[in-house]
Chains A and B, each alone.
Chain A
Amino acid sequence: MSAGKNLHPGINLGHSDPAGHHQAEPVMFGFWIFLMSDLVLFALLLATYSAMSVHGVAGGPEPRDVTDLASAGIETALLLLSSFTIGMASLANKYHDDGRRLLQWLGLTAVLGIGFLAMEARDFASLIAEGAVPQRSGFLSAHFTLLGCHALHVAAGLLWMAVLVLQLMATGLERALRLRFMRLALFWHMLDIVWVAILTFVFLYGAAG
């Protein structure tokens, strides 16, 4: 394929690093496909959740009993803000070669991500303290699984970030590393999109229903 056709969706490295941009093409494309596959997983968990939230309550807590809108609001703010900071990190990845600015934005993203996880852990702990454990009903199983799976993804993203940061400190901002940061940013944005769906279907619908 000629170089002119290599215009992958996402941050374009073409100006600063044409060869890297060329390499980015198949790699980023493959990662988009992976994200699609991961989204199917979340879609199915959401579908299972929506079935269970109606038919799986089994006399136990209902969606409105387990949704804390204030907490969800803070979580949403943290995660959306982290999407902004990782966007800034992507720009640093594109325009700066020394990696310092990239590190700063990533650090901020990590703090926001950890804050999000801490809030979610608090939510889970308070549910469990109330006796709303996942073993109690199909609905609670689905609730914990959907949110837990998302949280697991966020945690995996943070771990990935940590590995990349260690590599960055060891080798500097190499081309391969640049491409990995691009993929990490995509992954992080996807988790945001999933969260928007969760916020809508779990928290807003739950609180309204």
Chain B
Amino acid sequence: MSEELLYWLAGDLRWSDFPPKADMIATIAALIVVAGAIGVVATLTIARRWRWLFDNWLSSLDHKKIGIMYMVLAFVMLLRAVIEAVLMRIQQALSVNAQGVVSADHFAQLFSTHGTIMIFFVAMPFISGLINYVMPLQIGARDLTFPFMNAVGLWLSAAGAAILMASLVIGEFSTGGWSGYPPFTELAYSPGEGVDYWIWAVTLSSIGTTLTGINFATTIYKERCEGMHLFRMPLFCWTSLCTAILMIFAMPPLTVATALLALDRYAGFHFFTNGAGGNMMNYANLFWLFGHPEVYILILPAFGVWSEVISTFSGKRLYGYASMVFAVMCIAVLSFTVWLHHFFTMGQSTNVNAVFGIATMLIGIPTGVKVYDWLLTMYRGRIRLTAPMLFAMTFLLCFVIGGLTGIILANPPVDFQVHNSLFLVAHFHNMLIPGTLFGMIAGYMFWFPKAFGFRLDERWGRIAWACWSGGFLAAFMPLYWLGLMGMMRRTAISFEAAYQPWLNAAWAGAALIVCGIVALGIQLVVSVRRRSDLAVPVGDPWDGHSLEWWTPAPPPEYNFARRPRIEDTEAFTNAKRDGRAYHAPPSYEDIEVPRNTLIPAGIGAAGFVCAFALSWHIWWAALLGLAAMWAGVVLRSLQGDTERVIPAAEVQRQNEAWLDCARQTAPVTRFAEVERINRGRAMETT
């Protein structure tokens, strides 16, 4: 076959891009991915679960199922990114005046994929998933405003994640870091498919997230139940709203940055190239105009989780609700005014640096307020140190350290020194692990009983907490010190023997974090096995405050038999106190729910094909993928009958069964919260 014909058919893709690879570890990783994929397919086939998978999950437009699928995606990607982190820690610990175990180029791919995955395919799916599951329940809605678009968002994110997985098997990934700074990522310095993989994976995620943000914001503004004024929403909804607003405004800059970089690489444009008028400083501005709000997109929903967890397990109303809302809004607005602190060292004037430094420190004010509001929420409460609450405590302690180092980094005089160093790496991991990730784990443990009808095993939850907390401290506190010693990020080898003990500690910490993940896995398996012991069918195992606890566990697909009408933020608490929480409504009505459809998954698959083909310059397949994506949208608009009616009688049957169950269940006190007798009807004891 002629070279030209081959290019038309397969672009730059050749047999040599498939495993085995030059690097032993890379080959093993590729084989693990392939084996994992084969394993999943085989398991589904043997267990005859394909139809179940398609009918119940892949085609679902139910916000609860989409939320769970987001979380599954996040957990799978978390596994890979943590393994990469451990590999990097091993490399750095073994490469002081030595070669270590991986090549410099492989190391660069590791930090690039680790960062990209953790931000776009772990943290983002986690928060999208949690908000998806919890927020509509908390505002008493039946679903998001746009269920179809919600599923499209999920499948575009999944397509982006699939690109990352494909890059592990076929070809190589970018070495340009998660921020993909040109001109290094331009063709001149990074030829090959790596940066293209990065561009399209991130772009898919960015478009999906923009759609999701629009959906969340519309839902919160338009789908609240009667009496749910904005200032009666649970704090998690407020943080979801701020996150949604940030997504709407902050994702377009990322789309623009990656699109312009793509134009440079594919069409020879000169946005960020060296020379011909290109200027990478524009990229830095565009990227961080996204990147800084992005960190608040990641942390704000966790703030919401902490507010719910701390208030629930202190048995108290949240202290300073209005103050908290105001603080969150302040943070959201300020997050757009500080992007320049990511490049104090780019040579702009001192006054500009100073203004952005001070603006950055301003964010410390509302953030500090929140920490104290949480402490005041615990004041005069009845505190139970369940696993989610334990995570919350680690969060509070670590988060103030992260706040301190954030203030330090906001000071250009110090930033000049620690920019690009491990101090910076320690800082953002300090915010994102105890902040976002612990928040998501706590949220997972907190709302798991709601989603699946049984609690998670408490003992393994505590073990997981101990491993994660200890692992985090051991892995990242040394990095602060190494940063002050002048060790820079992204170094595959180092030449200072004094780094060694600190690198060893960091490596041990990373290993402990892996133990934490294993503990989470064991917790899940143990809990599934003991599910009848842990069952909480009534749906309110923690004496919750907000509406999501006022439904069965798991909730029916329409969420509420009758949409609630509330008169206070803590309507459910009041109803429980007055003994009217489980009274039957006067009447029932037919409920419309969206019909299942496979179109969103199809759009995601087409998006994957398009992105993969673009990365390898297989133009015909890229066009086909793009056309298929739009065909999916048009096809949807042609579907006439997109709703399914659940008759009132059926709703009544289900609801009364639940109410009977609730009335027959003995209330359980907080002392017995984690005992077997907790069947989901928890009560305050005074």
Q: A135 to B278: give the CA distance in the assembly, Å.
A: 11
Partner of B267, one of A44, A135, A137: A135
Chain A residue nearest to B268 (CB atoms) is A135
Given known A33-B217, A58-B277, A145-B263, contact A134–B269 (CB-CB < 8 A): yes
A55 touches B279 (CB 8 A): yes
CB distance A52 to B222 under 8 Å? no
Q: Whole-angstrom distance from the CB of B241 to the nearest CB of chain A? A: 12
Contact A56:B268 (CB < 8 A) given known A25-B222, A44-B253: no
Decide yes or no whether A141 CB sits under 8 A from chain B.
yes
B411 beta carbon closer than 8 Å to chain A: no
From known contacts A1-B226, A30-B145, infer whether A138 and B218 are also in contact, taking CB-CB under 8 Å: no
Asked if A56 and B279 sit within 8 Å, CB to CB, the answer is yes
* Interface check B221, CB cutoff 8 A: yes
**Do residues B222 and A26 form an inter-chain contact, with CB atoms below 8 A?**
yes
CA distance A41 to B279 in the complex (A): 19
Q: What's the nearest-Cβ distance from chain B to residue A171, in Å?
A: 8
By a CB distance below 8 angstroms, the chain A residues around B83 are none
* B286 sits at the interface (CB 8 A): yes
Chain A, 55-74, CB within 8 A of any chain B CB: 55-58, 60
Pick the contact of A134: B223, B267, B637, B638 (CB < 8 A).
Answer: B267
Taking a contact as CB atoms under 8 Å apart, the answer to whether B277 and A138 are in contact is yes
User: Which of A66-117 touch B at CB < 8 Å?
Assistant: none
The segment from B28-36, B43-51, B244-252, B570-578 that touches chain A is B244-252
How many chain B residues sit at the interface, stated as a range, is: 35 or more
**Would B210 and A37 count as touching, CB distance under 8 A?**
yes
* CB of B427 closer than 8 Å to a CB of A: no
How far, in whole Å, are A33 and B215 apart by their CA atoms in the complex? 9
Complex Cα gap A60–B248 (Å): 36
B271 adjacent to A44 (CB under 8 Å): no
Across-interface contacts of A141 in B (CB, < 8 A): 263-264, 269-271, 277-278
A137 to B264, CA, bound (A): 11
Q: Mark A166-206, 1 if CB is under 8 A from B, else 0.
A: 01000100000000100000000000000000000000000
Grouping DSSP codes into helix (H, G, I), strand (E, B) and loop, the A interface class, with mixed when no group exceeds half, is helix
User: Does B255 make an interface contact (CB < 8 A)?
Assistant: yes
B640 surroundings in chain A (CB, below 8 A): 171
When each residue 254-289 of chain B gets 1 if its CB lies under 8 Å from chain A and 0 otherwise, what string results? 011000100110011111010111110010001001
A125 at the interface (CB under 8 A from B): no
B214 at the interface (CB under 8 A from A): yes
B279 adjacent to A44 (CB under 8 Å)? no
Residues of B within 8 A of A51 (CB): 279, 282
Interface residue count for A (Cβ, 8 Å)? 38
Report A-chain residues with C-beta under 8 Å of the C-beta of B226: 1-2
Query: Does the CB pair B277–A44 fall under 8 Å?
Result: no
Known: A41-B256, A44-B286, A48-B282. A56 touches B270 (CB 8 A): yes
B634 sits at the interface (CB 8 A): yes
Say whether B619 faces chain A, with CB atoms less than 8 Å apart: no
B64 at the interface (CB under 8 A from A): no
Report the bound CA distance from A142 to B277 in whole Å.
10
CA distance A175 to B663 in the complex (A): 44
The complex places the Cα of A163 from the Cα of B256 at a distance, in Å, of 27
Using known A-B contacts A137-B277, A141-B271, determine if residue A37 contacts B249 with beta carbons closer than 8 Å: yes
Contact of A30 among B146, B256, B275, B277 (CB under 8 A): B146
> Could you say which of A30, A40, A52, A142 contacts B249, with CB atoms under 8 Å apart?
A40
Q: How far is the CA of A145 from the CA of B218 in the complex (A)?
A: 31
Hey, which chain A residues are within 8 Å of B277, CB to CB?
52, 55-58, 60, 137-139, 141
A134–B217 Cα distance when bound, in Å, is 38
Cβ of B341 < 8 Å from any Cβ of A? no
Provide the B382-417 mask, 1 if CB < 8 A to any CB of A, else 0.
000000000000000000000000000000000000
Which of B145, B213, B256, B273 is A48 in contact with, Cβ under 8 Å? Answer: B256
CB of A137 within 8 A of CB of B276, answer yes
6 A-B pairs (CB sep. < 8 Å): A44-B256, A58-B277, A135-B269, A137-B277, A141-B278, A163-B634
Knowing that A37-B210, A37-B214, A44-B289 are A-B contacts, what are 9 other residue pairs whose CB atoms are under 8 Å apart, sorted by A's residue number? A2-B226, A26-B222, A29-B222, A30-B146, A134-B267, A138-B269, A138-B277, A138-B279, A145-B269
Top 7 A-B residue pairs of the complex, sorted by shortest distance between their CB atoms: A138-B277, A56-B277, A58-B277, A141-B269, A30-B218, A26-B222, A40-B252
